[in-house]
Chains A and B, each alone.
Chain A
Amino acid sequence: MAKQSSRDRIELVYGSLDMLILRTLLWGPTHGHGIAKSIERVSEEMFKVEHGSLYPALQRLQQEGWITAEWGVSEKNQRAKYYRLTAAGRRQLAAETSRWERFVRAVTSVMRPAEPEEET
């Protein structure tokens, strides 16, 4: 696989893409392209989502029952598959979020032990 070597962009931590997708869908159903754009936009272009890894992740989340998909029509009148968060997905997102927060706190306290704790 070719390496992505854009200057300031951060490679996604393995496994975090699922969480980001779920988080994005919290704002409402959207299609794959929309999810990718949204993640990039919200992260202020820090994350560059590899579109290639997006779709396997979407399939995986469907299997877990966290999201469902149905065909719809996009704002530009294109046929597209819209993904929607399920109740189980919401619960999963909550769990992931708290786990993520613990992770970040832990990393932060290791990296900057002197400074007060702070949420990113």
Chain B
Amino acid sequence: MNWRRHIARIRALFRRQKLADEIDEEVRIHLEMEEQENRERGMSPEEARYAALRRFDNVTQTQETSRETWAWQWLETFLQDVRYGLRQLRRNPGFTAVAVLTLALGIGANTAIFSVVNAVLLRPLPYQQPQRLVFINSIQVPAGMGREASYPDFLDWQARNHVFKMMAVFRTENFALIGTGEPQHLSGAVVSANLFPLLGVSAVLGRTFQPGDDVPGAVNGTNALILSYGFWQQRFGSDPRVIGDGINLDGRPFTVVGVAPPGFQFPIQSGPIDVWTTIAIDKGSAADGVATQRGAHYLDVIARLKAGVTIGRAQVEMSAIVSAMNREHPDIHPRGARIVPMIDGLVGPARVALLILLSAVGCVLLIACVNVANLLLARAATRQREMSIRNALGASRSRVVRQVLTESTLLSLLGGLLGLWLGLRGVGLLIRVTPVDIPRLAQVRLDGHVLIFTAAVSLLTGMLFGLAPALISFKSDVAESLKEAGRGPTSGPHRAKTHGVLVVVEIGAATVLLFGAGLLIQSFLKLMQVNPGFDSVHVLSLRVNSPGAYSQAQQLIFFDQVIDRVRSLPGVLAASGVFGLPFSDIEADTGFDIEGRPVAKANRPETNFEAVAPDYFKTLGIPLLRGRDFNERDDLQSTPVAIINETLARQFFPGENPIGQRIKPGISIGYGSRDPMREIVGVVGDVKVQDLAAGPQPQCYVPLQQSPLGVMSLVVRVQGSPLELVPAVRSVVASTSNQAPIYNIKTLAQLLAQSVAQPRFVTLLLGIFAALAVILAATGLYGVISYSVAQRTHEIGIRMALGAEKVDVLKMVLGQGLKLALIGVAIGIAGALALTRFLASLLYGVKPTDPLTFIAVSLILIVVALLACYIPARRAANVDPMVALRYE
């Protein structure tokens, strides 16, 4: 085709109507001439006219083909098909509404989950070359647990490796902004000075940290501070003069050196970070600064791989470095290093759940497609005549198939549009109602990827569910169906079989989903039944920091006073304080020695560690099994004491009375650098620390008054609603010190619920999708059986005329539906057996092949199937034979 023709066509595109009119006119004139000629030859007027028409073969087609030469045929045909399709859809509003809604549900569910997957798993991290960023986890050997490294270890890693361009440490910290009025709680991060260059982020105002900032007092004798953009806006009204200003955090002076760019977040976590400062604050002035202790594993390590270095090579080198270090420090529990791509480290745990949800919505969409295919198939039957006539009038078969596919694609695009809206609304709602801590979840939004995904899914579904009816139209025999045309819609055995197969497919898919949901629901219920070891109802918890300038002694007095004053508040049944509250974000573990059983330091057993004030066990309802609780006399001047849990007692003192035995947990704060040997004074019940699904672990409690750790969770058991007490507690703390912020205000029940938020999220979603799948499958079955009953009205009439009872007809129709349902369920269960093992990692207390779930799911589906068939079956049973026979 040369350029001249293209130009002609483009021009023709704009005067399409005129061209068409001219061609029609020309053909009309031609026919007139021919007719006239025929008359002159002696034909009757009518004969002349028909002869002329016959010579033309097919007037409309000629007009169309003539017109088509002027256009890109596909475009013309396409526009025509679209117009025709839209007209068809408008003419059947009921059908269109049902189909579009079904598709919107299916596509909407997919859009929702994909937008989550996109935001959480797929979207690149907002740093320079994020694919080269890795976390280096310092793990215990051989258990493989743990993540944080100590600062001295980090310095060695940094100095010895040749595979990383840069390596940095970070941790989060809570600060109190001391100014006028009540101290404001700030979320902060403590980082090594090279973190910002490592991420490739520079300041919008001032500067980021410089290498020297890692030294205490580097900036005007204070430590450097970077403000987040949001905090700078909100607290300082975006005033650029803030650079160089002094800021008081926790009673310590900092100097603002820069403002981070808007939207910058590090570390990636659920809430925003307000300020960043350097590791200098951990070095302290004394020699016992936490950053100086090789055994203090409390920092996360991030690194940037050098160009061309693979994770594997970096891992080999790090393993070698860590082995060498283990040999050099025999007194330290041996560690390993594990390199994890940053994105995996952040979202790894959520990945399985999200991929399972994505497959689940895929199933829902498949069912939706099958439903719409069934609808189209039923409609194709009633449109058989139309198709045959189009065929007879000279439409090529491919043209008819294209027409059908265009219609189904239109449907799916409409469904996709509605689904996009539904999905984004749905996911927004979901995130708001289920507070689940999946990193980056808050960043779910409509972007190009979601749009492309939804568009692709829509088009694909259009093809998928349009194909069956299109192929059926393709197969249609013109003469045959025109002959049958007088008898109304017909259903050959072929079509009935197609319907049946489709229904079996959707019931099978619904079975798989329902089975998965059933397992998760059971697992979730089991998890909820787990006794955490304490009574979480009516308990308020909130975090209090002691003012930063306080000495250890002042700190202990401050905490003691706060607890005492809270105890005397009206409505308070019991109050205490704890460092390391279960299900909070503080968890401390330590190795310990038992008196008289010396082991190499590296082989010491590990225990969970909490420092608690008197009445802690009473406040949380943890049973005291033996011995006594801590009291006011257990302080730094008296004998160091400890209380252990049942598991520690059973594991390390089997058949002995642990009371009076002495252990030495490796936490020395309050006693200089020497770990004190502590006398066991009591045994309490086991408590779950972070994870309801975890087994019991050794736990060791020491008096808060013997461990000045600077931070405490206040726990208060109240008569009424815990949160109502917050203002009173706030004023108690404020009246005790005006430099102590309180934050993380949660009831224990909320903390507990938060710990199961992710299983709840996944279970809820999979439950919703399974319900959707079952409803759609039931609708599909209902539709097919109704259709078949309508088709067989005549036959049923004959049966009844020949003596069949209503019950027989009822049984026959129900049997037909049941047969499909049973095949579907059988296939579904086979599929479920193959697939549910992928669920295994999400299950607690339930096997992926739980027979009870199999039975329950099968029963539910069979009952639903029978219900879906009952209405059409009753309709069939009520057929009046006389009416049915006359129907023809």
Contact = CB atoms under 8 A, between A and B. Distances in A.
Interface of A: 1-2, 4, 31-33, 36, 50-53, 55-56, 58-60, 62-65, 74, 76, 78-81
5 contacts: A36-B30, A52-B56, A62-B8, A63-B9, A81-B22
A68 B473 CA distance: 42
B34 to A, nearest CB: 6
Contacts of B69: 56, 59-60, 63
B58 A51 contact: no
Interface residues on B, range: 20 to 34
A63 B61 contact: no
Interface centre among A53, A56, A58, A62 (most CB of B within 10 A): A56
B33 A78 contact: yes
A55 B33 contact: no
Given A81-B22, A81-B26, A56 B32 contact: no
B70 A33 contact: no
Nearest to B23: A55
Contacts of B26: 32, 55, 80-81
A51 B30 CA distance: 9
A58 to B, nearest CB: 8
Given A2-B57, A33-B34, A63-B8, A55 B29 contact: no
A80 B29 contact: yes
Nearest to A37: B37
A59 B36 CA distance: 25
Nearest to B54: A2
B58 A1 contact: yes
Given A33-B34, A51-B34, A63-B4, A56 B29 contact: no
A33 B66 contact: no
B5 A51 contact: no
B62 interface: yes
Contacts of A60: 69
Nearest to A33: B33
Interface string B30-44: 101110100000000
Contact of B65 (A33, A56, A80): A56
B29 A51 contact: no
Contacts of A53: 62
Interface in B66-112: 66-70
B574 to A, nearest CB: 94
A63 B3 CA distance: 10
B interface SS class: helix
Contacts of B8: 62-63
A55 B66 contact: yes
B27 interface: yes
Given A56-B62, A56-B66, A76-B36, A33 B29 contact: yes
Contact of A52 (B22, B58, B67): B58
Given A51-B34, A59-B23, A63-B5, A1 B66 contact: no
A55 B27 contact: yes
A25 to B, nearest CB: 16
Contacts of A63: 4-5, 8-9, 69-70
Contacts of A33: 29-30, 33-34
Nearest to B394: A1
B55 interface: yes
Contact of B5 (A31, A56, A64): A64
Contacts of B68: 56
Given A52-B57, A59-B66, A59-B69, 14 more contacts: A1-B394, A50-B57, A52-B65, A53-B62, A55-B27, A56-B68, A59-B23, A59-B67, A64-B4, A64-B5, A76-B33, A78-B32, A80-B29, A81-B22
A92 to B, nearest CB: 13
B805 to A, nearest CB: 53
B8 to A, nearest CB: 5
Contacts of B63: 55
A76 B40 CA distance: 13
A78 B26 CA distance: 11
B56 A79 contact: no
Interface string B208-241: 0000000000000000000000000000000000
Contacts of B33: 31, 33, 74, 76, 78, 80
A51 B57 contact: yes
Nearest to A58: B66
Nearest to A71: B22
Contacts of B55: 50-51
A52 B34 contact: no
Given A2-B57, A59-B69, A64-B5, A51 B62 contact: yes
Interface in B304-337: none
Nearest to B62: A52
Contacts of B62: 51-53, 55-56
A32 B26 CA distance: 8
A32 B5 CA distance: 22
Give 7 nearest A-B pairs by CB, closest first.
A52-B57, A59-B69, A33-B33, A52-B62, A56-B65, A55-B66, A51-B56
Contacts of B9: 63
A30 to B, nearest CB: 11
Contacts of A56: 62, 65-66, 68-69
A83 B188 CA distance: 85
A92 B631 CA distance: 113
Contacts of B59: 52
Contacts of A76: 33, 36
A111 B61 CA distance: 37
B685 to A, nearest CB: 90
A113 B61 CA distance: 43
Contacts of A31: 29-30, 33
Contacts of B32: 78
A33 B65 CA distance: 18
A32 B30 contact: yes
Interface centre among A2, A36, A52, A58 (most CB of B within 10 A): A52
A62 B11 CA distance: 13
Contacts of A79: 29
Contact of B4 (A59, A65, A78): A65
A69 to B, nearest CB: 9
Nearest to A64: B5
Contacts of B56: 51-52
Interface in B390-423: 394
A1 B57 contact: yes
Contacts of A64: 4-5
Nearest to B59: A52
A39 to B, nearest CB: 13
A33 B32 CA distance: 10
Nearest to B396: A1
Nearest to A79: B29
A64 B5 CA distance: 6
Contacts of A1: 57-58, 394
Contacts of A50: 55, 57
